[in-house]
Homo-oligomer: A and B are copies of this chain.
């Protein structure tokens, strides 16, 4: 009948706890108790009477009112840098599952890699009094984050940490992942490895991976040589293409190590344009659903994304105060998924030529 006319719904007149109380002939308090944790305080009689009234009237408690007085919103905020990144989606999925299990509702905000937007989203989430925050930060909003921390809002940083912000962190064991990858490349007989990454831009996981790569390449100086290529913002990738061309020309056993899923995509596109998808070793951090289909199957270092997401939530509710003072930094190991892009190439193939 009176549907919203040209505007969205306003909080409509609902059945309230008051009316239920009246109908059941009990006090509001009892109804409230019935709804909450204190149901066990009520006698059988009251419980059944209230239950009946609720059913008869079709009463549904109002979470907004409950949040206001009760000081619990049962809302968790999540801010992600790029919702189109498969890693992000998988990880969100883990967080979401955990939220459901724990009775929280998740509010997801996407910053589209825009730091200004990150700040705005954080402010909105704060305004809604979320009880905790899972953030995949761009790392530029230290001020804002610091403020939230000081207010005592539980925060977990995923994949990336921010210098000077002392909060729980969950992410990949980047050193282990890089080591695993390089071990594998060496085993397969590759000699020269090009590590391709997006601009570091103060993002800790990117930096850690690069550092691990450089350190470990040095440690294997007899076996592997390494080089680094940073992609720029525009997606022209002309530089990438010529770099790959040169690598293919100059090295006898070349391989590319992709720092994450978006990089992998761009590298594959570049190799595809060169018609060289199967002529070079390829290993990538992040498993994607198409990993097995391209370049004879891309060898990946899979992140346990579900576990990471769940761990983020777990860390949040536990508050990380297991006694120790320092907030914990939990890391998860990557799993190697060997595929054709490394196992079917390199030394053997090249020694044939």
Contact = CB atoms under 8 A, between A and B. Distances in A.
Interface in A279-308: 288-290, 292-294
Contacts of A64: 64, 67-68, 73, 128-129
A68 B71 contact: no
Interface in A308-335: 316-319, 321
Contacts of A153: 9
A226 interface: no
B96 A90 contact: no
A123 interface: yes
A75 to B, nearest CB: 8
Contacts of A131: 8-10
A7 B319 CA distance: 6
A15 to B, nearest CB: 11
A108 interface: yes
A227 to B, nearest CB: 24
Interface residues of A, number: 66
Contacts of A292: 269, 272
Contacts of A241: none
A154 B316 CA distance: 34
A3 interface: yes
A289 B61 CA distance: 44
B319 A5 contact: yes
A36 interface: no
A189 to B, nearest CB: 25
Given A89-B89, A107-B108, 19 more contacts: A1-B152, A4-B152, A4-B154, A8-B132, A11-B67, A11-B68, A61-B127, A63-B127, A64-B64, A64-B73, A96-B109, A100-B117, A105-B128, A106-B107, A106-B108, A265-B290, A272-B292, A290-B290, A293-B294
Interface of A: 1-12, 60-65, 67-68, 71-73, 83-84, 89-90, 92-93, 96, 100, 105-110, 117, 123-124, 126-129, 131-132, 151-154, 265, 268-269, 272, 277, 288-290, 292-294, 316-319, 321
Shortest beta-carbon contacts, A-B, top 10: A8-B131, A11-B71, A290-B290, A10-B71, A63-B127, A11-B129, A108-B108, A293-B294, A8-B132, A64-B67
